[in-house]
């Protein structure tokens, strides 16, 4: 894959796109980004995306043909398999399987996070907040001294959770949720990920403004909640 041209089909806010972008950056592989509007999906995108979702990784081979990968977990695993010089998965099969489990757990957090950010009343907002707190309590118990998920080495688990924490970085500029404050290990991990170059570059500079506009469009309770 050394000579393949890579294009990451993206959306400005998608955390799964960020996961793939972080992985590509950590691997040190140049790639282009093609950002689309998911509210008005172009025909070329629908023709190559079986699920109609981002990210897609377009791989242009040396012979001019193109392969398409969909689903962020698949994309990240492919990059891990084909670019082994910068490993982001543990070598040990059991530990690697455990990491995959925590990646799936991160996806379940994103599902609750969607309900949290789009909640339109205090009751729904608080219920989703409690669900998130329960999940972060499990993450807290799994973390060690850090700075990353399993210590000094950055992994695909870190690439999964960095976009989650980015949401809270923006939320905290709107209203102090305090949802993560009780989890010292999580907060330490969040801070370490926030300053990592691959994480910072995974979104455009206007990410926070776009997320606020998204909340406004969804009449989010988060915007009405007092500090």
Return the active site residues: 14
Q: In 10 A of CB 41, how many CB atoms?
A: 15
Comparing C-alpha atoms, which of 135, 142, 76 is closest to residue 108?
135
183: left (phi over 0), alpha (psi -120 to 50) or beta: beta
CA distances from 119 to 77, 84, 126 (A): 33, 42, 9
Comparing C-alpha atoms, which of 128, 138, 112, 125 is closest to residue 174?
125
* Structural tokens at position 124: 């729904």
- Strand 66-70 and strand 32-35: the pairing is unpaired
């Amino acid at each position: 894959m050394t000579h393949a041209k890579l294009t990451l089909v993206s959306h400005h806010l998608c955390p799964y796109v960020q996961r793939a972008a972080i992985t590509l950056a950590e691997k040190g592989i140049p790639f282009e980004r093609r950002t689309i509007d998911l509210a008005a999906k172009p025909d070329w995108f629908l023709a190559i995306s079986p699920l109609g979702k981002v990210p897609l990784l377009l791989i242009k081979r040396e012979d001019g043909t193109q392969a398409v990968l969909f689903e962020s977990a698949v994309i990240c695993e492919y990059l891990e398999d084909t670019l082994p010089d910068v490993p982001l998965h543990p070598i040990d099969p059991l530990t690697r399987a455990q990491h995959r489990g925590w990646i799936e757990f991160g996806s379940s957090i994103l599902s609750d996070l969607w309900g949290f950010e789009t909640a339109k009343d205090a009751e729904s907002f608080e219920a989703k907040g409690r669900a998130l707190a329960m999940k972060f309590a499990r993450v807290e118990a799994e973390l060690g001294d850090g700075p990353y998920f399993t210590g000094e080495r950055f992994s695909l688990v870190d690439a999964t959770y960095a976009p989650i924490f980015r949401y809270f970085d923006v939320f905290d500029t709107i209203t102090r949720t305090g949802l993560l404050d009780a989890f010292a290990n999580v907060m330490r991990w969040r801070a370490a990920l926030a300053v990592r170059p691959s994480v910072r570059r995974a979104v455009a500079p206007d990410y926070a403004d776009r997320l606020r506009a998204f909340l406004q469009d969804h009449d989010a309770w988060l915007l009405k909640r007092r500090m």
